[in-house]
Each structure stands twice: as structure tokens, then as C-alpha cells.
Amino acid sequence: MSWSKMKQSLESFLCPALYGRLEYGATSYRYLSDKVGQCYIKVDKKNIFNMSDTRTLIRWYQTEQEIKNDPDIQIPINNEEVEKVRRDTKGAVPEDRLKVIARNRKISEYAKEILFAQSALCKSNFNDVVNRFLTISIEESLESNDILLNVLALVDRRVGKKRLLKMAEKMKLKHPIVQYFYELRLSA
């Protein structure tokens, strides 16, 4: 689906009180390889939620290195993970190296999870999440662990004031950006 159609669909579900205050945007640069694009959500002309492709890989690598170099972080490796590495490498790797590879894989997964929690999404992720949001129920979007799905559901007109008030305790456990949009919707 093209961005203009996606934006139109998202705006059609927008809560009437936020119409004109909240703006979805996406930019992409066809001919510049270092400017692959970004998506954002603005509230009252302020960029609140920014998803950019260019910095994500660098931040992922930095997060991965921070986890590797922090002596206080202990990454437990179980036998199943070591066996998976052994199968993947077809037994060509020494035994002590298998644990190192399994640990590095797990650190890489943790780094991805941390970036996801920090809202470091890219334009392709944004498009995928928007398409998913438009095809699933509002309840699934609200219950999801995906930050962007939560945000899109909170500003949706299908979520009423009573449902919002019932969600107050759940919102305390969510990511700060989700809490921001929850407060925005309550105040609207």
C-alpha cells in the first residue's frame, strides 16, 4: 500500500479531538543512499515519535557493544542454544568457541529488543506495523507489546473514554512514549 493511502487510512481512524493536532509523516529520498527515509508522528507541530533508518544500525551496534563490554551483565547460555550453534556450524567449530558464538547471538537479540523498546524503528518497520494495525482488531493492538501498535490504537476513535480509564494500571507498565500518547488522549 502506498504511503498516501496508509496516511489516509490512519487519519480516518484518528480520534476527532486529535484531528488537526496529530500528524503522521514519512519522507524518503529516492536518489540518495545515505538518506533512506524516516517516519514520524507530530503533535501540535512538535516531532514526538521519530523513526529513522540511518541511525538504527549504528545504535544497534553500539548497544550490542555496551552489553558485551559491561562486566555486570551476565548472559546465561543453555545447552539448547549451544546445540543450535553446533548444528548451524555443522560441528566445524571447537567446543569452547560454540559458547562464545551462542553468547554473541543472545547479546545481539538483546540489543534488538532494547532498540525496539527505545522506539528505534525504521520506515520499513513503520509501514509493516501500520499495515498490521489496519488489518487486526483494536483489542489486539492495545494488548500488543509493539510500541507503535499501542500508540496507533490509543489515538484511534474506536477506543472510548471508558476503555481508556480502565487501562490506567496497564499504562504504567508501558513504554514512556505509549504513556505520553495515553495522557494526550485522556486530555483531548
Judged against a pLDDT cut of 70, whether residue 169 lies above it is answered with: yes
What per-residue confidence (pLDDT) applies to 120? 47
Judged against a pLDDT cut of 50, whether residue 149 lies above it is answered with: yes
* Mean pLDDT value across the chain: 80
Taking residues 1-24, report their average pLDDT.
88
What per-residue confidence (pLDDT) applies to 29? 62
What percentage of the chain has pLDDT greater than the value 90? 18
Query: What does the pLDDT look like over 46-86, one tens digit per residue?
Result: 888 777 655 555 566 677 777 777 777 777 888 898 888 88
Query: What does the pLDDT look like over 33-53, one tens digit per residue?
Result: 545 567 788 899 888 877 765
What per-residue confidence (pLDDT) applies to 112? 72
Judged against a pLDDT cut of 70, whether residue 117 lies above it is answered with: no
- DSSP of the chain, one letter per residue? --HHHHHHHHHHTB-GGGBTTEEEEEE--SS-TT---EEEEEETTEEEEEEESTTHHHHHHHHHHHHHH-TT------HHHHHHHHHHTTT-S-HHHHHHHHHHHHHHHHHHHHHHHTT---HHHHHHHHHHHHHS-HHHHHH-S-HHHHHHHHTBTTS-HHHHHHTHHHHTTS-HHHHHHHHHHHH-
Q: How confident is the model at residue 174 (pLDDT cuts 50, 70, 90)?
A: confident
Comparing 5-14, 50-59, 135-144, 173-182, the range with the smallest average pLDDT is 50-59
Judged against a pLDDT cut of 70, whether residue 122 lies above it is answered with: no
